[in-house]
Amino acid sequence: METTLAAAYCEGWDNGLVNPLTQDQAESRDSAGEPYSVVLLAGGRLHTVLNISWTEGYCAVLRYDADGHRVAAHELRRAPEGDLFLRESATWAAPADDAAARHRTAWQINGRRSDDIEPAGRRGGRSTFTDDGFTPPRLPLPAFGRWNALLDRASRVHAEACVRPFSDVCVLPRDPGDRHRVTGAPAPGLPSRTSAERPWFPPRPLQPRALHTLFRDGAERTLGPRRMRISTHAAGKLNLPSGRLIAADPSSLDYGEEPFVMTVSPGTYPVTISLATFTDDENHSRVAAARLDISDRRPVRWELALREGQDLLDLGYGEFFGFGVDAGMACFVDDVNHERLAGEWESLELRNPRFASVGAGDMIAWSSGWGDGAYPTWIGRDHENRITTFVADMLLFPGDD
């Protein structure tokens, strides 16, 4: 069966077109990698919405039934080879209420597949299955306007996913899928509105913001109606006998804290603390960041420091992987030293000064910004892609979180 579709363009769909775009405007956004949406209609009714942002290598395919209920959501991401692979697929019985049966499948590029099956929706139990050796569905990056292959494959995703060993537990019908043909624009009269906010955002993780100003003596940052002035302080040298760095709350070191995946050569490296002090209250200071310098080369780009099993593809808009703080303090420590130093936090004051070297440089600890929370660590790299710096950002200022 072939379904003929008409395409309209906008910044998003929310029971109507939000900030409509012309086809030329949408194609320009496609070329620039900027977010936009394609609304596809069959016989005048909503059929599929595509949310696209190629800068993030992202395409979401949202399918609707004849009554306008969403019945499937598929997330495709760009693979290292440049094509798309299916990262996540969710299919549920219409109408998509709390009692609707649902089946969610997530793929990793390495072949690991995880399935969550809820026969009674959120009102019943859930079965979870994980297995290796399943290549995620892949397809070429579609050219603008040529959505046919993408739509055809999306309509078959659930049927193709219900193979052994999952076929016996699938609870939704295995629709063989349709063929699709996109022709022209829809008839005028679609509901539309303008809005200052888009109804969706691409999965763009938190980005480092103005890290260089956190280590510029005398620089000032705004915090509401007040100002804070930056000063930098040498906290001592950190011993990294294995080169495997851990950033963590020192009170959690006996709970299996893991080092970052990216390692450096074993050695001893200086740590600098960025202190932010209120300009109208010089007795009130907070740690803005801690920097571990691996070399004196200037970083030209930044990336989020990751631990084993963490994948940037799992992060949504503004999200990050970080270390949690429950005791109001943070630290840098080498992997081989963290268990031995697990109890040192109990004797730390970190008030004046707000940092300390522990165990003759085996740990550098500091008070964590405004206190408890979660904080990212950034890796700086030079022009030759060599690691120059680790920065633990305490997200002190609005816009940094």
pLDDT, tens digit only, all 401 positions of the chain: 788 899 999 999 999 999 999 999 999 999 999 999 999 999 889 999 999 999 999 999 999 988 888 888 999 999 989 999 989 888 887 665 666 778 888 888 877 888 887 776 666 777 777 777 778 888 899 999 999 888 887 777 655 665 555 555 555 455 656 777 888 777 677 899 999 988 999 999 999 989 999 999 999 999 989 999 999 999 999 999 999 999 999 999 988 899 999 999 999 999 999 999 999 999 999 999 999 999 999 999 999 999 998 988 888 889 999 999 999 999 999 999 999 999 999 888 898 899 999 999 999 999 999 999 999 999 999 999 999 999 999 999 876 44
**Residues 345-369, buried b or exposed e (16+ Cβ, 10 A)?**
beebebeeebbbbbeebbbbbbbbb
What is the reported pTM?
0.80
Map out the domains of the chain as residue ranges. Answer: 2-193, 211-393
